A and B are shown apart, each in its own frame.
Chain A
Amino acid sequence: MSDVFKKALSLITGTPPKETLKVPKNRPFKRLTERELLNLESQVGASLFGPVPTGHRREFFCLDKDTWIWHEEWKDEKGAPKSTTTRYELHDNGILKVQEGARYKYIEGDELKNLRVAIRMYYEQVARRVYKRDPQTGAKLA
């Protein structure tokens, strides 16, 4: 869908069009790799928090059953590339936030609440849009 058409549709309907996932076109009949699946999931994950600021690249995905990754890249006022990666580790006693510089912290308050909501939204949308599963039952969607 062209950008002009998307913008026109958005103006007419009043809502931004739902982005379609960018499935690799060069290998439609081959199995996707785990990296490609994570990329598809991350497209969903990055959209959960609203529009990504211009010039930013955002990744948010479930790496494995114990780990979630937030990665953001942008350029500062001088045009220098910046990036930050945050790893959220799911432990029995809480969610540990790990950032560069050996910063570790169990998250709480709004940050914990927002992450929990984001994980549920991610699960619901990834189940439907990437894996074509019913999030309530895990059954394949018709």
Chain B
Amino acid sequence: MPLEDTPNFLQENTEPQPFKWIEDAGFDLHKSKLPSMDQVRAMTNAALDAAATSQPEAHTTIDTPDVFAPQPLPVEIIDFRQLSEKELSARIEGFRQDLLEGKTQDDFRLAA
């Protein structure tokens, strides 16, 4: 591909500029002496704070399991053939009581 056909950004100086933010903060790395460690630390914290406040969505788009979201209640699947006669009887009585107490009455009316 001829050079003139390449996108502009490849013709520009796209080298990483790790110290650009220090220069943006007012320091000339070529003319001034390097900032002290305290200054670097302060500028780093300021840059992090700015990033945190300007892009709050960055903290909500992390792809992690949403453990606080409401989860459906687990459904207990049983093999009723393995239940004892007493357990089966208790389940039947439970269905009956649910209906007598009106917990499932509407469903039954519709079905009836």
CA–CA, A131 and B96, complex, Å: 8
Q: Is B93 an interface residue (CB 8 A)?
A: yes
Q: Is A98 an interface residue (CB 8 A)?
A: no
Within 8 A of A (CB), among B81-112: 81, 85-86, 88-96, 98-100, 102, 104-105, 107-109, 111-112
CA–CA, A109 and B94, complex, Å: 30
Chain B's interface: helix, strand, loop or mixed, by majority? helix
The answer on a CB contact under 8 Å between A90 and B91 is: no
- Number of A interface residues, CB 8 Å? 36
Q: Which residues of B contact A31 (CB under 8 A)?
A: 99-100, 102, 105
Max chain A C-beta neighbours (<10 A), residue from B78, B92, B111: B92
For A22-60 the 0/1 string (1 means CB < 8 A from B) is 010000110111100100010000000000000000000
Chain A's interface: helix, strand, loop or mixed, by majority? mixed
CA–CA, A123 and B91, complex, Å: 8
Q: Which residues of A contact B94 (CB under 8 A)?
A: 138
Within 8 A of B (CB), among A3-37: 23, 28-29, 31-34, 37
A9 to chain B, nearest CB (A): 22
CA–CA, A29 and B86, complex, Å: 32
The answer on a CB contact under 8 Å between B95 and A131 is: yes
The answer on a CB contact under 8 Å between B76 and A90 is: no
Q: Is B67 an interface residue (CB 8 A)?
A: no
The answer on a CB contact under 8 Å between A120 and B100 is: no
The answer on a CB contact under 8 Å between A136 and B107 is: no
CA–CA, A34 and B93, complex, Å: 10
Q: Which residues of A contact B79 (CB under 8 A)?
A: 136
Max chain A C-beta neighbours (<10 A), residue from B77, B85, B95, B102: B85
Task: List 19 other contacts, CB 8 Å, given A122-B92, A131-B96.
Answer: A31-B100, A33-B100, A34-B96, A34-B100, A37-B99, A37-B100, A62-B89, A62-B93, A64-B89, A65-B86, A65-B89, A90-B86, A95-B85, A115-B85, A127-B91, A131-B95, A137-B76, A138-B95, A139-B75
